[in-house]
Chain A
Amino acid sequence: MAKTIKIRAKAKNGITVVKALITHPMETGLRKNKKTGKLIPAHFIQEVVCKHNGKEVINCEWAGSVSKNPYLAFKFEGGKKDDAIELAWKDNMGNGDSISAKIR
């Protein structure tokens, strides 16, 4: 699968800031196809989990009302340069992706 996640984690003064961008259509299921008049089926990310050295640091549940190509930023205590960061998502159609990165 093509790479869908961009992530950047930076540690400073004992706090790590994580910023992530995911490529995803995030269809709510309420929009209509203008040509056919049919509803476009809902297709959105439902769960995003981020781990630091294997320990969960955030767990998100999302609805279709999160914008297309979602952005997520959060902070956690601890974390230092070269620690492992892992982020994974799953959508309502059973697709998903994950990425591993290092804290800078």
Chain B
Amino acid sequence: MSLNEKRRVFLKGSLAAGALGAAAGMLTPGAVLAAWNKNAFTAKSIDEAIAAADGSPVTTPSKDITIKAPDIAENGAVVPVTVVTKMKGVDSITLLVEKNSTPLSAIFHLPKGTLPDVSTRVKMGKTGDVIAVVKANGKLYSARKGVKVTIGGCGG
């Protein structure tokens, strides 16, 4: 099977890369997937990440965005988050975790007809805010929700 062959080749390649050091391994992802927004996902600050993901770091806080997340997360490795908004014409929902070393966690592109109501689970290194940025009709709106983390989900 061709997929399996590829996998073999790939495994060999990754072993070699591992021997050369992590840097060699880090070069591959960008080449594999052009669509993936590398600049946004490697940004270290929230403003940079939002700017790279949505085109501008300026967002308007909005009460129409609801972030459903626990007040206290016992396990930071699995924090369920739901973002819902009543706004119309939502193009994308961007999810960031304030205190992670690379804050951007996920971007959801919503074509017309898909409701602005998405759920996933994220890792949180420590207590901080979960930030949702909603792009609707070309404008950016944001909301925050504080989550207290008792056991970190990154490292350890």
Residues on A facing B (Cβ under 8 Å): 1, 15, 28-32, 39, 41-42, 46-47, 55-68, 70-78, 90, 92-95
Which of the residues B14, B22, B106 comes within 8 Å of A66, measured between beta carbons?
B106
Would you call A70 and B113 a contact (CB within 8 A)?
no
Would you call B36 and A46 a contact (CB within 8 A)?
yes
Expressed in whole angstroms, the Cα–Cα distance for A78 and B114 within the complex equals 9
List of 8 A-B pairs having minimum Cβ-Cβ separation, nearest first: A92-B29, A73-B119, A67-B121, A59-B109, A76-B114, A75-B115, A61-B107, A65-B105
Would you call A73 and B105 a contact (CB within 8 A)?
no
Which of the residues B22, B28, B108 comes within 8 Å of A93, measured between beta carbons?
B28
Secondary structure dominating the interface of B: mixed
Binds A, one of B58-66, B94-102, B139-147: B94-102
CB distance from A42 to the nearest CB of B (A): 7
Would you call B77 and A67 a contact (CB within 8 A)?
yes
Expressed in whole angstroms, the Cα–Cα distance for A102 and B85 within the complex equals 27
